[in-house]
Amino acid sequence: MIYFDHNATTPVDPRVLAAMLPLFAEQCANASSGHVAGRAVARLVEQARGQVAALVGANRRNVVFTSGATEAVNLAIRGVLAGAGSPRRRILVSATEHKAVLAAAAQAVSIHGGTVGLVRVLPDGTPDLDHLAASLSSDVVLVAVMAANSETGAIADVGRAAQLAHGAGALFLCDVTQAAGKIPVALDAGEIDLAVLSAHKIYGPKGVGALLASRRLQARLTPLIVGGGQERGLRSGTINSAGIVGFGQAATIAAAELAADADRLRRLTALLHHLLTEKLDGVALNGPTVTRLPNTLNLRFVDADADAVMTAMPQVAVSAGSACQGSSTEPSHVLTAMGLGATAASQSLRFSLGRPSTAEEVQAAVGHVVSAVEHVRALGAD
C-alpha cells in the first residue's frame, strides 16, 4: 500500500509510541491522584502541555486537552456563544471550513440563538477577505477561518482575517489542525483568540487534541462535559495521559523537523504533479499554486470519476475529499464553494504525502494513477 492520505491521519511515529508505552503499564496512575505516582504522571502531562504550546507558539497555560480537534471546536464555538451577551449572536465562518466547524456553529445557534453567515472563498480556495470585511457588523461574536485547508492545502491570511474580526469587536477562531507541523504557526502574536489542533495529524495518537485559549477566554467558556473539573473545569473526566504524552512528543518532533519535512515534501509533491500532468491529459489543479501546504495536491482528472479511479487502484490510498465526509456521496463542499460544479468536484482526488513518503513511492503511485484514470476514461467512452 502506498499511503498518500496523511491529511486524513498519520501513522504514529515510533518515537511517539516509545514515549507513550510506559503510561500503559508502570506509569499508569491517574494524573489527578494526589499520591507520588499520580503526581509523576501529572508532571508528564504538564510537560506535554508545554510541548504542544511550543509547536504553535503559544503559552502552555493556554492549552486545554480534549479528545480531538472536533471536541475542541465544539467547546470553543458553543462555549463562546453560550457566554455571549446580546446583541452579539452572529457567527461568521469560511465556506470551506471543516465540517466540525460548520456543524458546531449551526448547532450553537440552534441551542443559544443567533445566526451563522458564510464567508465566500476565491477560486483558489483562499478566503475572500473583502467579503469577510463586508459581512462584519456589531452583532458578530465570532469569526472562524482555518489556517490551512485539508482538501486543497490552501493557506489563509489569518493575520488579516483576525485584524478584520477584532476591528469589529469579534473574537477570532482558527483551526490550525492541518497547518501545525507543516508550516510555522505563532499563536502568541496576539492575532488568534482561540485555536484547535489534533495529535493524529502530526504523527501522534488518535483521540487527543487541544483547544488553545487565554485564561481570560477560558473563564468565559461553558464546558460541554462536566464532572470532576479536570482541565480547569472545561473538560471533566480522567485525562488520557498516554495520549497526551504522545501528543507532546509528536509536537516536539514536528517542531524540530518542520523545515526539513516541508522542503522534502514540497519537492515530492511537485514531482507527483509534474509526472501526472506529463503522462495524462485533462489534469487540473484545485487550489493555489503557491500558497499551499507543502504536502498537499488536489487534482481533477477530467472524465474520470474519483471513486471509480480509487477503486481501480487499490494499491494507492488517496481521498476524494476530507475524511470527515465519511461515506457521503455528496460532492466536496470545499470544491463546490470554490466554484467547481458537482461533476468536476466528483472527478477530483486529494494526494497528501507525509514523513514516510519517498520518491520511489511517488514514481510507483504515478503508474497506478495513470492506469486507473485511463481505465475509467475508457469505460466511460464505451
- State the pLDDT confidence band at 68, using cuts at 50, 70 and 90: very high
On whether both 247 and 266 belong to a single domain, the answer is no
On whether both 204 and 332 belong to a single domain, the answer is no
- The H or E element containing residue 314 is none
On whether both 293 and 218 belong to a single domain, the answer is no
Residue 273 is which amino acid? H
* Residue after which a domain boundary falls, among 238, 253, 268: 253
Determine contact, residues 98/106, Cβ cutoff 8 Å: no
* Residue after which a domain boundary falls, among 253, 286, 314: 253
Give the number of other CB atoms < 10 A from CB of residue 97.
26
Give pLDDT, residue 197.
Answer: 98
Q: Which residues are catalytic?
A: 324
Determine contact, residues 320/349, Cβ cutoff 8 Å: yes
DSSP per position, 93-133: EETTS-HHHHHHHHHHHHHH--EEEEEPB-TTSSB-HHHHH
On whether both 111 and 225 belong to a single domain, the answer is yes
Write phi, then psi, for 192 (nearest 5 degrees).
-105, 125
On whether both 72 and 194 belong to a single domain, the answer is yes
DSSP tag of 224: S
Residue 22: exposed, middle, or buried by beta-carbon count in 10 A (0-12, 13-18, 19+)? middle
- The H or E element containing residue 352 is strand 348-352
Residue whose C-alpha cell reads 503559552 in the numeric block = 59
**CA-to-CA separations, 71 to 48, 100, 342, 370, in angstroms, rounded:** 19, 9, 30, 39
On whether both 143 and 42 belong to a single domain, the answer is yes
Share of the chain above pLDDT 90, in %: 88
Per-residue pLDDT tens digits for 149-190? 999 999 999 999 999 999 999 999 999 999 999 999 998 767
**CA–CA separation, 37 vs 14, rounded Å?**
25
Domain that residue 49 falls in: 14-253
Per-residue pLDDT tens digits for 85-143? 668 899 999 999 999 999 999 999 999 999 999 999 999 999 999 999 999 999 999 99
The total domain count for the chain is 2
Give pLDDT, residue 322.
Answer: 57
DSSP tag of 60: G
Mean pLDDT estimate for the chain: 94
On whether both 180 and 203 belong to a single domain, the answer is yes
Per-residue pLDDT tens digits for 210-259? 999 998 899 889 888 899 999 988 999 999 999 999 999 999 999 999 99
CATH number of the domain that residue 72 is part of: 3.40.640.10
Of 201, 193, 183, 197, which is closest to residue 142 (Cα–Cα)? Answer: 193
- Read off the pTM: 0.94
Provide the grid cell at 202.
502530526
On whether both 228 and 289 belong to a single domain, the answer is no
Write phi, then psi, for 91 (nearest 5 degrees).
-120, 135
On whether both 187 and 334 belong to a single domain, the answer is no
- State the pLDDT confidence band at 52, using cuts at 50, 70 and 90: very high
DSSP tag of 5: B
